[in-house]
Amino acid sequence: MMTKSKLSMICTGAAFLFALTGCSGNNPVENPIDAVTLQSGEFAVFDFDDTMDQMHDATLESDMSFEAGPFDGSFFRQGGRFGRRGPGGPMGDRMSRTNRGNHLGQILPDLGLSDAQLTAIQDLMDAYRASITQPLQAFRSAIQAILDDARAERQAIMESVQAGDLTRDEARELIRALNDRKRAAIQATPEAEAARALICASKLELFDAIRNILDADQQTAWDGWVGGLDGGCFGDDDSSNG
């Protein structure tokens, strides 16, 4: 389990390692990571709102469910969707949600980073991903009963369709209402609030640690970007709407 204190230790270690290299962002060397890679999943800052994006509503054909990736760690492993050397290329909608700070590809290409800085940021991202695993797993365990209830309710609706008591259109409306109720119930669980708070705390610590390895000019650009964030962990907007 990666605790916040362990994340702090890794953040401190990354800053110390960078200081030893003596590499400044003012004199960047040829970088093995190009602009396209900087927009890939490796530099996505996965947070609790992204977890809810992995939820699939119930339909006439399938039950309500979550993608397993955020909870079993497969999203964050090397080669995973949000891990090192994951799928390359821009992350689509994630790159357009500029107010949440959910992707470092929105700022890193503008900083003129050195190899040493990029390596330190990669290490910090590894530590961040490890730190959010336990809160996500606790959240997933807590909501299993809600998913089970949703499955049972959907099954009852479909049995009524098969018996001729409901039309498919009527069933579709009932399932839509079921999805709304269960999503609200999931978001209202104490574990959801706890996971959101813990993950946001780790995210803010990550951002502070990244700032600490930047030079003065880079920090000015970084501060300008962070200062413009007002969604997700940086505000009170309805982040589930992007």
Tell me if 212 is assigned to some domain: yes
Tell me if 178 is assigned to some domain: no
How many C-beta neighbours within 10 Å does residue 69 have?
19
Predicted confidence at residue 204, as pLDDT, reads 95
Predicted confidence at residue 232, as pLDDT, reads 82
Q: What's the number of domains the chain is made of?
A: 1
Predicted confidence at residue 219, as pLDDT, reads 97
CA distance 42 to 88: 8
Q: What is the mean pLDDT of each run of 10 residues along the chain (242 residues)?
A: 51 48 42 68 88 93 93 86 72 58 90 93 94 93 96 98 97 98 96 94 96 97 94 65 36
With a CB cutoff of 8 Å and minimum separation 6, the contacts of 23 are 29, 114, 115, 116, 117
Q: What is the pLDDT of residues 27-85, one digit of tens each?
A: 443 445 666 678 888 898 988 888 888 899 999 999 999 999 889 888 888 888 888 87
Tell me if 166 is assigned to some domain: no
Predicted confidence at residue 242, as pLDDT, reads 35
CA distance 21 to 42: 23
pTM: 0.77
Tokens 């090192």 locate to 84
Concatenated DSSP letters for 118-166?
A: HHHHHHHHHHHHHHTHHHHHHHHHHTHHHHHHHHHHHHHHHHHHHTTSS
Tell me if 134 is assigned to some domain: yes
Tell me if 84 is assigned to some domain: yes
Domain residue limits at 87: 4-20+33-143+189-234
Predicted confidence at residue 169, as pLDDT, reads 97
Tell me if 218 is assigned to some domain: yes
Tell me if 25 is assigned to some domain: no
Tell me if 240 is assigned to some domain: no
Predicted confidence at residue 8, as pLDDT, reads 55
